Amino acid sequence: FESRLLKANQEPAVTLDGVPVTLMANIEKPDEVKLVRDYNAAGVGLYRTEYLFLSSSRVPSEQEQFLAYKAVAEGLAPNPVVIRTLDLGGDKPMAGNPELFPKEDNPFMGFRAIRFCLEHQDIFRDQLRAILMASAYGKVKIMYPMISGHEELARANAVLADCMSDLKSRGVPFDENIPVGAMIEVPSAAETADLLAPDCAFFSIGTNDLIQYILAIDRVNDRIAHLYEPTHCAVLRTLRRIVAEGHRGKLEVSVCGEMAGDPVYAPLLLGMGIDCLSMAPPWIPSVKYIVRAMTMADARALAEEALQMNSPREIYAKCEAFYRARV
Ligand code: PEP
Ligand code: MG
């Protein structure tokens, strides 16, 4: 089976009824570029940029960041690379920096990601300039994590516009039409996706956080891990809503949480209209395999049926049966 998987991975990601699907890679470090190419990903759908910040207690300079982002953009050009701005805090505080990251009782609901960046705009600006400069070397997109509503998006975009005029006035090259999108991973963003869409070039759904916040299940607490249900009806209804609002605004809608890399869930997500799945590179062959073994018509029927059901466990069983019948 393993060798069948790897063989199919050389083929395009197209369903049996001819619908192309975009399969992208999640990475954390520039040296993963080779892995992205080896696994035949269509690009990077999520570049988590925390690594440079977590690998030392020092905040990396604009130049250090630029070199890292440039290496990825250049190494994968002309394929797109979605660079996510800092998502520090929560489960990822920077060590040795209690003044930047004071201890919190509820880190997942705390001073994290875009909230941190909007308060520490010096750090945010350095990163945005580094990403913009890298955009001159490939196809770069910017993505904000943990957006919870339109005001945050507008504030982040204002800082970005400022960084752009700064570079422009200094004659530093960058992609002036760089696409900018939001992660949809906070329920309030999902609920107001129609308000976010006009100011986004794309949506990328972070199911890891979205599920934990919808269900109030800490994603890293083993005691309640069995209650963390990607097929919970509330999750599926939320996904459907995000896709509908994204598509109404003519945006591409991706999923970049763990759910995207599970071949049991991939047909359900694609059947709901998700345009692109982004996952750890080693998962790409098994997701591509099921994409090539199914029709989009069947995946749509699966999603429609799942949305009529009321038991997360039965929905999971249905997805699993769909998968087993095709591999
Ligand atoms: C997510 O929340 O699904 C996601 C992709 O982001 P992270 O796992 O880095 O929080
Ligand atoms: Mg997240």
Model confidence pLDDT, tens digit, residues 263-307: 999 999 999 999 999 999 999 999 999 999 999 999 999 999 999
Do 113 and 146 contact (CB within 8 A), yes or no? yes
pLDDT band at 102 (very low <50, low <70, confident <90, very high): confident
First to last CA, the chain: 9
| pLDDT tens string 12-46 | 999 999 999 999 999 999 999 999 999 999 999 99
Distance 314 CA to ligand 2 centre (A): 27
- % of the chain with per-residue pLDDT over 90: 91
pLDDT at 8 over 90: no
The residue whose C-alpha atom lies closest to atom 4 belonging to ligand 1 is: 206
Q: What is the pLDDT of residue 19?
A: 98
Q: Residue 205's pLDDT is what? A: 99
- For residue 133, the model assigns a pLDDT of 98
What's the pLDDT at 150?
98
Work out which ligand 1 atom sits closest to the CA atom of 259. Answer: 3
> Sorting pLDDT into bands at 50, 70 and 90, what band is 2?
confident
Using most ligand atoms within 8 A of CB, pick from 84, 87, 208, 235 the residue to mutate for ligand 1.
208
The answer, yes or no, to whether residue 92 has pLDDT greater than 90, is no
Cα dihedral value 36, 211, 205, 137, nearest 10: -40
Cα 259 → chain centroid: 11
Contact 89 CB / ligand 1 (< 6 Å): no
pLDDT value, residue 135: 98
The answer to whether the bond into 78 is cis (omega within 30° of 0) is yes
CA distance 153 to 255: 19
Q: How far is the CA of 257 from the centre of ligand 2 (A)?
A: 7
Query: How far is the C-alpha of 177 from the C-alpha of 251, rounded, in Å?
Result: 15
CB 315 within 8 A of CB 61: no
Any ligand 1 atom below 6 A from CB of 256? yes
Give the pLDDT confidence score for residue 56 in this predicted structure.
Answer: 84
Residue 6 has what pLDDT?
86
Mean pLDDT of the region 58-71: 97
Model pTM score: 0.97
Closest ligand 1 atom to the C-alpha of 145? 6
**Atom 3 in ligand 1: residue holding the nearest Cα:** 206
Average pLDDT (82-105) is 89
- Torsions phi, psi for 223 (to 5 deg): -60, -30
Cα of 16 vs centre of ligand 1, distance in Å, is 30
Average pLDDT value for the chain: 96
The residue to which tokens 């630029």 are assigned: 66
Return the ligand 1 atom nearest residue 46 CA: 5
Residue 3, pLDDT > 90, answer no
* CB 205 less than 6 A from any atom of ligand 1: no
